[in-house]
Amino acid sequence: MSAAPDASPRDPAPPQTPAATIPLAGVIGWPVAHSRSPRLHAHWLRRYGIAGHYVPLAVAPEHLGQVLHALPRAGFVGCNVTIPHKEAALALADIVTDRASLIGAANTLIFRPDGRIHADNTDGYGFIANLQQHAADWSASAGPAAVIGAGGAARAVVAALLECGVPELRIANRTRIRADQIRAEFGARVVVYDWAQTGNMLEGAATVVNSTSMGMEGTQPLRLPLDALSPEALVTDLVYTPLDTHFLRAARARGCRTVDGLGMLLHQAAPGFERWFGVKPEVDEALREAVLG
């Protein structure tokens, strides 16, 4: 496996397929029936009149390698990868972007004409693009960022915020060792807080991110003391089912601007679509409505 520098969404070029072949892409997960990615990509395929398909692929972990190497022979030009395959897909790839290597996971694969698998991670790109779209004056350099959680999504958020110039990144996780590992890998701008001190971590933070699954439908809401949270802070939640989480509502009650997590899903999908189908898609309200159904 070799590393490749991060590139624009147009690099590498979409694989060339015979004229009689309809390009295929999909999302691989276990399970995967809940994914909204097929609805998302179907909207773009219709909108741009592209003869292609994007399908859900339920693949058990023990079959991932075999499936990934078989898909190009079935007309697939690439795929998205979701839980629990993101780390394994990275290990199976032949070419890995710097950001995917840093995050330690891949969510976007491109099957190259030469047979090699190119792995990228666009989650951080999607996170930043969502904030920029819905809070146009937001700037990472405005002050410290506070990230709640230290899982795979958090790693993508941390990498993106540090790249954008956040002066200090505070992080807290129920299992502190995972937050300590992020600090060890990402450097001195990362400051780890004990979970019991998460509320204190919010003091003076300009950007606050819930990267945990707490607040998702079927789970307990994220409940934190928000006394230290500045009304000037921008607060976002990576959870998008429901769109308006308890955490976001509590932040708005403090006077904060909030951004829901759906836009991250939409924006992270755009680079893959462009690489696979050759069209740079637009993330707009029509897309949100199509995905929400």
Q: Which residues are catalytic?
A: 86
Residue 213 labeled ligand binder = no
Residue 238 labeled ligand binder = yes
Residue 207 labeled ligand binder = no
Residue 177 labeled ligand binder = yes
Closest CA to 251 of 274, 230, 267: 230
Residue 165 labeled ligand binder = no
Closest CA to 208 of 235, 239, 181: 235
Residue 123 labeled ligand binder = yes
Residue 249 labeled ligand binder = no
Residue 153 labeled ligand binder = yes
Residue 175 labeled ligand binder = yes
Residue 255 labeled ligand binder = no
Residue 222 labeled ligand binder = no
Residue 236 labeled ligand binder = no
**Residue ranges at the known binding site for NADP(+):** 98, 149-153, 173-178, 238, 261
User: Which residues sit in the known binding site for shikimate?
Assistant: 35-37, 82, 107, 123, 240, 268
The binding site comprises 35-37, 82, 98, 107, 123, 149-153, 173-178, 238, 240, 261, 268
